[in-house]
Structure 1
């Protein structure tokens, strides 16, 4: 009888110990798998590993000479058979003056206009690029003014009032772009690439006058800012359009981009960098 009671006591005690150990084990697992209070949760969606990573502001390497390129398809390098564009051609010429490895960041968008570029410049990532850049290239306006080529009197794009409105809007956008650039970076060299005439004699006299006025007012605005220079290209293409234009007869080819890069280098070679 005594042995039976002793056996039951030991059995009950063993069951209690087992239950306590099991509860502790389960609780320890729950602590291990719980998110840390100090950790940041990662939210995934289709096509993206982590939105926080995608939107994180990245700084350019301070050990490199950073060139930022913005604007339209000409800034992008469209038409260049070598896929270099004027910025990469220029960087080859500038390497000796930079005394650092050159890094080119290109945020240009094919088909863009001044209002689109203003929105791009407002982006936090691109403002960080501006802040970290030693030099900034801008090409914009070609897609706005090319619509004036039409000679159809019934078309609204050739009406003088509309042309003036487009020009005024462009100049206002450009002014705001420069203000944003200078609010983030007072010291970077800013080079603005002027417009050329890709249409040759097909451009009527009044439209040619508009192009010249457009370039003149752009140069006047750019020159009002320190460390900013307007790069004329009209004369380069006026006498070399057959050699400098791509197959689309609008964008520069490789030789055209190289000519632009050399013009930029000659204009900037005396700037302190």
Structure 2
């Protein structure tokens, strides 16, 4: 190769390496902390629609990210509830990438508040994006730091439960607990204990605000088997198990 071509070759190689590294980093961040979807714009109240509803709130799990059809446990459970005439319709208000603070903002919107007031059943998935902290929890893992996130965010989860319960004193409210998508990582066992601490705190809040907590922790024990190709969100089989677990809780607590 001619001497003058070496600098050009080196420059191109370096540029490609940087671009490749950026692509990997972007993909990683998209999985550990998905881009936040747009929180619903503030709207005026629309005319009330008759009939019982199931309203789903939350993040990418509520949206069904990871399922082959772009649907998750909400559609599965919602359609079953409709078939059994438990509700007349269901409404998915999940926002991909949502954190607890985003959900609290969403709860202040008139249209969302009206939907919740009318709801017979409400489900929630939230907190994972707060706990995973844009992937930093794995990059610089420390159990002490992870537990400090739990300590900081659980009061905000309480605000969420309190707000929803005050909006609707009678609905069956169900919180889907967190699972550990990083069991196969070097810090998997430590992260297990952190997530169990989160779920334990959520159950305590559930008793206070009459919010049922579904255990999803035991639904994800093998990442390759239980998660989608991104190794973060549930696959179809796990979403099905989540829907079944949700349905069981609803059946036990619903008052026709």
Q: Shorter-chain TM-score: which interval?
A: 0.7 to 0.9
- In structure 2, stretches of 5+ residues that fail to align are 1-41
Instruction: Please report the TM-score for the alignment, with normalisation by the length of structure 2.
Output: 0.75
In the other structure, the counterpart of 1:237 is 220
In the TM superposition, structure 1's runs of 4+ consecutive aligned residues that sit over 6 Å from their partners are none
Alignment of 1:186 with 2:169, yes or no, is yes
- Aligned in 2, Cα 1:245/1:163: closer, same or farther, shift over 3 Å? closer
Kindly state the Cα deviation for residue 159 of structure 1 after the two structures are TM-superposed: 6.7
Question: Partner of 1:84: helix, strand, or coil?
Answer: coil
In the other structure, the counterpart of 1:76 is 63
Q: Is this contact kept in 1: 2:175–2:213, CA < 8 A?
A: yes
For the aligned residue pairs, the C-alpha RMSD in angstroms reads 2.1
In the other structure, the counterpart of 2:200 is 216
Question: Partner of 2:184: helix, strand, or coil?
Answer: helix
Give the one of 125, 128, 132 matched to 1:142. 128
**Matches of 2:245 and 2:186, distance apart in 1:** 25
Rg: which structure is higher?
1
In the other structure, the counterpart of 1:163 is 146
Kindly state the Cα deviation for residue 79 of structure 1 after the two structures are TM-superposed: 1.0
In the other structure, the counterpart of 1:91 is 78
Q: Is this contact kept in 2: 1:149–1:203, CA < 8 A?
A: no
Instruction: Please report the TM-score for the alignment, with normalisation by the length of structure 1.
Output: 0.71
Kindly state the Cα deviation for residue 232 of structure 1 after the two structures are TM-superposed: 0.3
Question: Partner of 1:199: helix, strand, or coil?
Answer: coil
Q: Is this contact kept in 2: 1:122–1:180, CA < 8 A?
A: no
Give the one of 168, 181, 201 matched to 2:184. 201
Post-superposition Cα deviations, 1:152-188, rounded to whole Å, max 9, x if no partner, equal 36xxxx372x434422332111111122112221011
Q: Is this contact kept in 2: 1:59–1:132, CA < 8 A?
A: no
Q: Is this contact kept in 1: 2:63–2:71, CA < 8 A?
A: no
Aligned length, in residue pairs: 211
- Aligned in 2, Cα 1:120/1:91: closer, same or farther, shift over 3 Å? same
Question: Partner of 1:69: helix, strand, or coil?
Answer: strand
- Aligned in 2, Cα 1:100/1:222: closer, same or farther, shift over 3 Å? closer
